[in-house]
A and B are shown apart, each in its own frame.
Chain A
């Protein structure tokens, strides 16, 4: 479990280092996430495996952390108490943008994917 945690920390550190070194606007942990995807896929290709090789510990730790994601963003979310003024003066734009933009993103993504894959099943 400790090695698995170290793996995540090392990739976060690598991602953050790349971000700082090249002044990128993509956040360090996101770069780290894609570096880890690349690493797992490269190792799979080298070993000619059918699936990415993920140690039991790393798989378990990832599942645990992802299951607890909701808890992890409560602290940042509580910060909304400092934003009541902004929320009050921007209530209508915020409500319309959340619903409107989410619905449009759903429809566009679903429609483009549907048109592109129409010829081949699987149906819902």
Chain B
């Protein structure tokens, strides 16, 4: 199967074609998750990536050609990252009452996430590139991709790790914390946002509005802490 000539010969048509395929794959992914009654593991991003990868393989299209064609979608990641400022500014009022414990929890969680990500990969014999791409995986994907580009990781690995980590946090987060006797929604929300970004945050947001606010804070503030932390820790990666 090949992409028709009238598409491949015109760069604008090519962009239109692959943007439509990418968007359709994502819409299908969302549809799948809805049909599975919102199952966390049926993540629309994961499904969309798999579907697009299949279409690339079937049509013999290289990733570079695909990525050049869908550049307009990728470009919007920048403005979308800046847009995270709006929920962050709206929720920051919640912080003032539990400021000290939140800062401590934030820094402790970020350090543990970055350091254990790197150490586990290296200790089990993984490559340095994999360890660097693993370091920012807890952060919301657009920020994680930006950080990984900055420190010399591989953005596509980071994107895949971030989605998988988010699913792990969404599935295990609440039962795990409850087993440890942690019942405060602020703690649940912050932990979900910090460790599992958007995917886990969406999960706790359905349970409680205060958890949703703290999850949004966890996502935004972890972006800052990890962005500051990863370049420093990179120098220590063997």
Residues of A within 8 A of B (CB): 5, 8-9, 11-12, 15, 25-30, 32-34, 36-37, 40-41, 44, 51-52, 54, 58-59, 61-62, 65-66, 68-83, 86-87, 89-90, 92-94, 96-118, 120, 122-124
Contact = CB atoms under 8 A, between A and B. Distances in A.
B183 to A, nearest CB: 4
Contacts of A100: 116, 120
A124 B90 contact: no
A124 B173 CA distance: 14
Nearest to A123: B183
Contacts of B141: 69, 73, 76
Contacts, number: 351
Contacts of B13: none
Contacts of A102: 113, 138, 165, 168-169, 172, 195-196
B126 A93 contact: yes
Contacts of A5: 79
A66 B98 contact: no
A107 B63 CA distance: 38
A110 B187 contact: yes
Contact of A51 (B22, B90, B138, B228): B90
Given A109-B105, A109-B106, A32 B82 contact: yes
Nearest to A64: B83
Interface stretch (B1-9, B34-42, B174-182): B174-182
Interface in B150-195: 150-151, 154-157, 159-161, 163-165, 168-169, 172-173, 176-177, 180, 182-188, 190-192, 194-195
B164 to A, nearest CB: 5
A8 B79 contact: yes
